Amino acid sequence: MRFMFVGDSMTIGRAGDYTWRYRMWQHLSSTFGGPYRIVGPRCELYDTVADTPTSHAYADPGFPEPARRHLAGWGEGWQHMAPLIGPAVADTGADVLLVSLGLIDLGFYTDAEQTAANARRFVAAARAARPGVRMVLLPVIPNSRAEEDAPFAAEVARFNELLAKAVADLTTDASPILLAARPAAYDIHRDTYDGTHPNASGEHRLAGEFAAVLHQAWGIGGPYRPARGL
């Protein structure tokens, strides 16, 4: 089974991060019980000094290079990934997409309705490349801007409603789509390093939500037990 992580800055991570991708790799390695691969056209972290996605300085240098694969970008959202996902799925044969997108879109590029439309474009493109692809989508999670900016918080809430509707409208038996839960205990003052990007505990919480959906809905892996604790 081939998994692809798709996301924005919270998924690619910066130089020196573990990333929630790393936490998922640990989880799958300990619970999957069969052969699997992590796939994607990219493997780098974002270098905040050079302002380029060119770093390989993961917090754990033992993170295997093949497991670092992803399709994530600092400053990239649904509108950026919609045209990229088809070729990425076709090239890698991804079976399951684990997707965390939306915050950067709403913050800089598109309103809730436009962002939801781009999410639907993404789904269509992924299926055109691989009709049986499965997807787990994470809603926009708590962040400092939503805490401080009421109109932005309303856009986030509206998008999350539209994303849930898209999942309900688009899921099929052949290509199921599931909506992960917003981490109930997620605290931007404890689980991020800047109000948006996850620190170690936040990484575990994000990985835990994806792991819970995979296990409960599709029997993939097991319950999430952080290898490094919270």
10-residue mean pLDDT profile of the chain (230 residues): values are: 98 98 97 95 98 98 97 98 98 98 97 98 98 98 96 98 98 98 92 97 97 97 77
Does residue 51 form part of some domain?
Answer: yes
Query: Residue 22's domain spans which residues?
Result: 2-218
Query: Helices (DSSP H) in the chain: which residue ranges?
Result: 9-12, 20-31, 78-92, 103-104, 112-129, 144-148, 150-170, 188-191, 200-218
pTM passes above 0.95: yes
Using the CB atoms, write b or e for 90-121: b if 16+ within 10 Å.
Answer: eebebbbbbbbbbbbbbbebbebeebbbbbbb
In the prediction, which pLDDT does 230 show?
45
Q: Which tokens hold the place of 96?
A: 């399951």
In the prediction, which pLDDT does 117 show?
98
Does residue 224 form part of some domain?
Answer: no
In the prediction, which pLDDT does 226 show?
84
Does residue 227 form part of some domain?
Answer: no
In the prediction, which pLDDT does 31 show?
96
Q: What type of residue sits at position 167?
A: V
* Rounded-to-integer distance, Cα 153 and Cα 142, Å: 9
Q: Which tokens hold the place of 74?
A: 């600092």
In the prediction, which pLDDT does 185 show?
87
Split into its structural domains, the chain has a count of 1
